[in-house]
Chain A
Amino acid sequence: METITTHQHADLHRDDTAAKLGMWLFIFTEILLFGGLFIVYSVYRFKNPVAFELAHEELSITMGFINTIILLVSSATVAISITAMQKNDRKITLAMLGITLLLALVFLINKYFEWGGKFEHGMYPGSELMKNLSNGDMLFFSLYFFMTGLHGVHILIGMILLGITLVKVKTGAVNSGKYALLENSGLYWHLVDLIWIFLFPLFYLIH
């Protein structure tokens, strides 16, 4: 995997394979974190099937669908930015990273309106309305706020990572001979997409 070129000798102790391995190990902890939450969700849904089905009707499928498409496209743009970097096409790399950040922002704005609508109706964690819900409804909405909220935090972290990468590509610190940071930030962004792929049907598409 490692192709040794002359300018790479300048960086002692550089090991891209190990960097990527470390990123994957971190991603595994994230998968198990969300995996644990998915199991909590499954058990409660199994115990409260009717409440979960009725409660999910409060969520807008259109909104969830749009956000799914946004994340899928942003995942593709990150993948394209890596290809562009490998082809030494900095302009496309920068453009694609910019588009990704923009899409991430749109995702969060959608989330803001989605959550905002709920808050306006008095539906937020700890509110009087939520305290008075039936057990199953309360579980559904608590899990909804917690899991999509935690996912939202991951979007923010991903944006910070990609933002740092974008600046480093601009300054040339990340270049076609040294782009482990771009690859690893990309992996993180795909993870965020991967989690949403499961969140979407579980919260929005209950039948």
Chain B
Amino acid sequence: MSDEKIHISPYKSHIMVLLGLIVLTVITVLITSVEMGPYNTTAAMIIASIKGAIVLLYFMHLRFDQKIYGIMVAIVVAIFAAVIVVTFFDYLYR
């Protein structure tokens, strides 16, 4: 790995990522006023997850870094998701 070149994200890509995140924020605010019943929360969480993924991949550089960091993040996210699922099975069916 020692000869691997360091990836430098150009300024422009940071600006594009920022614009994308702002657009998603505006969408998530606007979507709140649309009546979708329980799907409003689902939509808000999906958009938040997309924004989170963008921050992790681009700002936190996971997409261009060594794979080990990304694998570790994926494991932590999977553990967290599993805990959520288990908790809600408990509360939904007790």
Contacts and interface: CB of A to CB of B under 8 A. Distances in A.
A51 B11 CA distance: 45
Given A1-B1, A31-B76, A61-B29, A193 B11 contact: no
Contact of A207 (B40, B47, B51, B87): B40
Interface string B50-76: 011001101110000110110011001
Nearest to A75: B59
Interface residues on A, range: 35 or more
Contacts of B91: 43, 46-47
Interface string A3-22: 11000000000000100110
- For the residues of A in contact with B, the DSSP-based class is helix
Interface of B: 1-6, 8-11, 14-15, 17-18, 21-22, 25, 28-29, 32-33, 35-36, 40-41, 44-45, 47-48, 51-52, 55-56, 58-60, 65-66, 68-69, 72-73, 76, 79-80, 83-84, 87-88, 91
Contacts of B52: 194, 197-198
Contact of A205 (B11, B18, B28, B76): B28
